[in-house]
């Protein structure tokens, strides 16, 4: 049966941990200059209906490094943008490439694509979840601090796609997630119900962050919500992750952000640009974690 990666629960906890471990191995091998060609002659199709820097470059570079190739497809210059049904696109692409990555708006679209695809489909971000980012975030945590089981993570900000993936990760890897979000910006109720034993909602960021081991945030207005920016700046007042807020966390707490970041909104420059900030490594780990994911799905 074809395995897809549409959201984190598509993996078991053991598989999630194995991918993190393999990501670390691939990272070391690359740093040592070793060539690993486990995906020789394999081709990844990448459909982007939203902008991307990290996701595009990490998948494209990752395929090249593993001996394969990647094709960038945008709706502006494919028939998808002219109304060709997603089902037909899935049936055709999956007869030509070995794997498809999709970044789009409605989560239902990647599900429909996967339903008609003969090859593995990877979710490169939807309005609902961003599972690839969590592979990289968890790899970064494991590299610095070991297993995350039993730790406390504080999510400060919007109950958005990134928050939902943190909720799924909390359930799979068994950590506690404190979610601080303003009223009206709560995460999805269904995901919350499925992860209720691991998640707790707060309105006060200071309360959520106190004693936490990992603090994560994201933009207040996600892609597709640009026109809400001004309103959200008002609604999220007090939710900026500042050094003062970070001082309430555990003394060795890490700060993560999927990027792109808006300094002075969801995070202060002082926090994200700190000398010991792991956000650049977190971004780099997209490459290693997704190479491990591609190997997992394709070999």
| Candidate list 133, 139, 181, 232, residue with the active-site label | 133
Q: Active-site residue 103, yes or no? A: yes
The span from the CA of 299 to the CA of 293, in Å, is: 10
Nearer to ligand CP, 72 or 116 (CB): 72
SS3 category, 111: helix
> What residues contact residue 125 under an 8 Å CB cut-off, 6+ apart?
50, 52, 55, 103, 104, 132, 133, 161
Q: Active-site residue 133, yes or no? A: yes
Q: Active-site residue 147, yes or no? A: no
Neighbours of 108 (CB within 10 A): 13
Q: Active-site residue 130, yes or no? A: yes
Kindly state the smallest distance separating residue 211's Cβ from ligand CP, in Å. 27
Binding site for ligand NVA (CB under 6 A): 125, 130, 160-162, 218-219, 222-223, 258
Instruction: Give the one entry of ligand NVA, ligand CP, none that residue 162 binds, where binding means its C-beta sits below a cut-off of 5 to 8 angstroms depending on kind.
Output: ligand NVA
Instruction: Give the one entry of ligand CP, ligand NVA, none that residue 53 binds, where binding means its C-beta sits below a cut-off of 5 to 8 angstroms depending on kind.
Output: ligand CP
DSSP state of 61: H
Nearer to ligand NVA, 38 or 52 (CB): 52
- 216 - beta bridge partners? 155, 256
The span from the CA of 267 to the CA of 257, in Å, is: 9
Restricting to residues 129-158, name those near ligand CP by CB under 6 A: 133
Q: Which stretch binds ligand CP (CB under 6 A): 20-28, 46-54, 149-157, 188-196?
A: 46-54
Beta strand 152-156 with 176-180 is: parallel
Residue positions annotated with a catalytic role? 103, 130, 133, 218, 258, 286
């Amino acid at each position: 049966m074809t395995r897809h990666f549409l959201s984190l629960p598509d993996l078991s906890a053991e598989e999630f941990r194995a991918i993190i471990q393999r990501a670390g191995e691939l990272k070391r091998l690359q740093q040592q200059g070793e060539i690993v060609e486990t995906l020789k002659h394999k081709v990844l199709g990448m459909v982007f209906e939203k902008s991307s820097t990290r996701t595009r470059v990490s998948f494209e570079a990752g395929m090249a490094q593993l001996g394969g190739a990647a094709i960038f497809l945008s709706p502006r210059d494919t028939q998808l943008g002219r109304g060709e049904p997603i089902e037909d696109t899935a049936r055709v692409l999956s007869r030509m490439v070995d794997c498809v990555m999709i970044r789009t708006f409605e989560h239902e679209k990647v599900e429909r694509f996967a339903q008609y695809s003969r090859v593995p489909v990877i979710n490169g971000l939807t309005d609902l979840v961003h599972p690839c980012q969590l592979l990289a975030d968890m790899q970064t945590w494991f590299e610095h601090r070991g297993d995350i089981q039993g730790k406390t993570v504080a999510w400060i900000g919007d109950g958005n796609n990134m928050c939902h993936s943190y909720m799924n990760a909390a359930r799979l890897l068994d950590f506690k997630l404190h979610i601080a979000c303003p009223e009206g910006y709560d995460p999805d109720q269904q995901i919350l119900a499925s992860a209720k034993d691991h998640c707790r909602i707060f309105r006060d960021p200071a309360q959520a962050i106190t004693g936490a081991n990992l603090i994560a945030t994201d933009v207040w207005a996600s892609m597709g919500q640009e026109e809400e920016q001004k309103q959200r700046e008002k609604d999220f007042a007090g939710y900026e992750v500042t050094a003062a807020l970070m001082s309430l966390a555990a003394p060795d707490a890490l700060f993560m952000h999927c990027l792109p970041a808006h300094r002075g909104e969801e995070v202060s420059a002082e926090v994200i640009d700190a000398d010991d900030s792991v956000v650049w490594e977190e971004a780099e780990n997209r490459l290693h974690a997704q190479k491990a994911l591609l190997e997992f799905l394709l070999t």
